[in-house]
Amino acid sequence: MRLAASLAATAVAALFMTAPAAHAVDCPVAEGTDRWELNDEEVVALYDCIKDWMAESYAAEGDEIGSSYRDWAVTSTRPAVAGAHSERFLQTFANDIAAEQYLKFEEEGVEMPVGSMLAKESFGINAKKNILRRGPLFIMEKVGLDEAPDTMGWLYSGLQPNGKVMKVKQSFCHDCHVGWEAQDALAYPLPEVRLTATN
């Protein structure tokens, strides 16, 4: 048992060249690290290194969502790479209005209430520099069909890694999300990392 624990700790330590700190330059990863092959413990170690820096960065310009989303319900046990959003690691948070319905992860007949908000953190591995790199904070807000008739009532927005508002083309986001039409355009976390309202 001790040997297994020691090997696991060594594997996690090998991801990092130095101890984690506040900036991505202090979150290096081992050369050749494959984001698709990392285990739970390794992904959590990466997230632990960069999560505070991401939250501080998204809040840097005083954006209301960027400053408060971490108080919402987290929807997964850890970030995961789903393939979308440029193959970044993603961690989704749901506000109080969204959480009850979202955490059911239903696949048919989903109708999120107006006022639902989701914030999706993102980060990746810079393979050339072997460091972690912050991605945008992707945001979805259910505003209703009167306000957003072409996007199933959703308004898409985001914050750049420095906290500045992103320019977002609604159709660009929705053309992908409409693939989950029965789920009210929601692309859930991967099944193996989903949290539910009962856990």
Give residue limits of the domains in the chain: 2-193
Q: What's the whole-number average pLDDT of the chain? A: 86
Confidence (pLDDT) at 9 = 37
> Between residues 1 and 36, which one has the greater pLDDT?
36
- Which range among 10-24, 57-71, 180-194 shows the weakest confidence by mean pLDDT? 10-24
CA distances to 42, 117, 195 from 61, rounded to whole Å, are 31, 19, 30
Give the distance between the most distant pair of CA atoms in the chain: 60
- Give the mean model confidence (pLDDT) for residues 18-39: 66
> Does 134 score more than 90 pLDDT?
yes
Global pTM value:
0.84
- Which range among 7-16, 135-144, 160-169 shows the weakest confidence by mean pLDDT? 7-16
> Does 12 score more than 60 pLDDT?
no
Q: Give me the long-range contacts of 159-164 (CB less than 8 A, separation at least 24).
A: 159/58, 159/61, 159/63, 159/65, 159/66, 160/136, 161/54, 161/57, 161/58, 161/134, 161/135, 161/136, 162/57, 162/60, 162/61, 163/57, 163/58, 163/59, 163/60, 163/61, 163/62, 163/63, 163/66, 164/61
Please write the tens of the pLDDT for every residue from 77-125: 999 997 677 789 999 999 999 999 999 999 999 999 999 999 999 999 9
Nearest one of 106, 134, 109, 128 to 47, comparing CA atoms: 134
Instruction: Write the CATH number of the domain with boundaries 2-193.
Output: 3.50.70
